[in-house]
Structure 1
Amino acid sequence: MADPYARVYFGDRFVDAAEANLGVATSAVLYGLSVYTVFPVHVDGDQRTAFRLADHFQRMIESCKIIGLDHFAREWDFDRFVEVARQLVAENAPTSDVFVRATVHVDASIPGTRVRGLHTTVSMFVYDAVPIVPQDGMRLKTSTWRRIPDDAIPSRAKVNGAYVNSVLAKQDAIDSGYDDCIFLDGSGHVCELSAANIFLVRNGTLITPDASCDILDGINRRTVLTLAEEDGIPIDQRTVDLTELYIADEVFVTGTSAGVAPVTEVDGRLVGDGVPGPIGDGLRKRHDAALRTDDLRGWVTRLV
């Protein structure tokens, strides 16, 4: 649990967190009709840097396009997005790493189940960068709830209302004594966790469900794939069977709020020797360094 910092961007201005409110009759409240992204900001003294900010902005654009929110792309460009993020972080003056959540809300009141032409409001707020999963080895349970398929609510769009699916699955895992869930698709193939992508390692090959497997094509997922390719690690993006996780040498997950975190147990079965493996650990270290370092990839945007 983490509370928003004191100052929030909402409705084209910066306000106190208590003033950033949506009406109870808006589509965002009635139908969960909002899309969002979360990006990390690394704080090192007076220096503040955001990770892959252009990709997070592009995901907002694409999520809006998929769902049919047509105001955001007309009213926002990347430069405006960066400037609001810069001012927001400056107003809150964090002294340690934080996450920034940016959301496009449909704030039209009682418009019915439609989306085109409806007014939207953008919000951004800052909160402490507390991981949502254990970082030293997590226990996962296959969910009885199936992942929403692309032809129902597309996973590649981060739609607020779709996360009811994740809540049901993760709460079931927690109630059963586990840290998080593993979603399967309608055919029983592995998708992802409640809010993180999943990888496994077998015989030195890094394996992960491909982007057509009802997953969020996560920005940190792409980051790890790039780093693995640079390290010469063989990569296989494809359909993954659940039983492959049972016999994997390593399993780990990725996500902005998850980091790169090892999995040590799946459905009561130890992963490998029950300790984090070398490939996942090496990619975690490389990922941590990438979050903090400006380099030729252009992944880091300086906010100060």
Structure 2
Amino acid sequence: MHIQIVLFDGFDLLDAIAPYEVFNAAAMYSNEDITVKLVSAEGERMVTSGVNHLQIQANGKLDLTSNGIILIPGASGSVHDNGPDSVPVRLRQAAETELGNLLNEAMQKQAILLSTVCGGSLILAMGGLLEGRHAVTHHMGMGLLGATNAIPVNARIVDDGNLVTGGGVTSGLDVALYLVERELGPRIAHAVEQLFEYERRGTVWKAEGNSPKENQEETQAEETSHQSSQTNKTEDFQGEWDTTISTPIGKLSVLINLTNIDGQIIGTAKQGGDIVTLDNLIIEGNQLKWSMKVSKPMRLNLKFNVSINGNNMIGEAKAGMLPASKLVGHRIL
């Protein structure tokens, strides 16, 4: 079995090194031929981690011709701003390198089991690779995971077939031990646990078995609240709006068209040649909220919150843990 742990600039040390130790310990207890390598998308090089800029040697290039496990760690950095050393920026930069193309190809290969720790799943999500897939990430990134049309699951580990994802930083131990059990059996996994004096945490979530019953009363209450929040102010928002969204990586021009049909506000947005429908339009007080799928600068489901002052629109667009982007615009029709 061939195991490749991918390093990229800004990666989190514990996300990568904890599984590296688990897999190497498993190799000691197994009669199978197991190789464990630290690799990068670019090939052999020193890779600078996000923890105090500590450098680790990648011994080769990520090889998609080898069957086995590919593990993607998350990033380490600031979570309080959108600067170059912030976690969202480092994850996005990794997704935009050759690594993004290689992971896209890896997802198509049934002989490869792709696994992630912490923010590693967001690298896949930012590349549009987790649409409709069950996954988990660090709790601060679950909103962004959902914004990329993945299906977030609040579990320590999520097993979605050829995709296994883990939650926060320390879940790297749990992910690796679970993969050892899945691929080599529980006896070897148990031997590694005893060696490390560590017991795995949490239940591994799978889309199997009976689904838990939902609380119907809570669901009905949410629907009632949603309906009662609509007001008769749809006329304030009607029209064609020329807006600009200031994202961390540049400004986007979006033409928004809002119409009142039978007391219900509906709308579309045009970005370049793409026209999309505004979903879940709702008026709360003097604010209009909606969600919208965009493909640029990356595939996201953005949530908007705007207010109107005469013919001027101001608000923000948000996607999970990514910093809010300011929206300004004016009515042109």
- Could you state the TM-score of these two structures normalised by the residue count of structure 2? 0.22
Which one has more relative contact order, counting CA pairs under 8 Å at least 6 apart?
Answer: 1
Q: Flag the structure with higher strand content.
A: 2
- Could you state the TM-score of these two structures normalised by the residue count of structure 1? 0.24
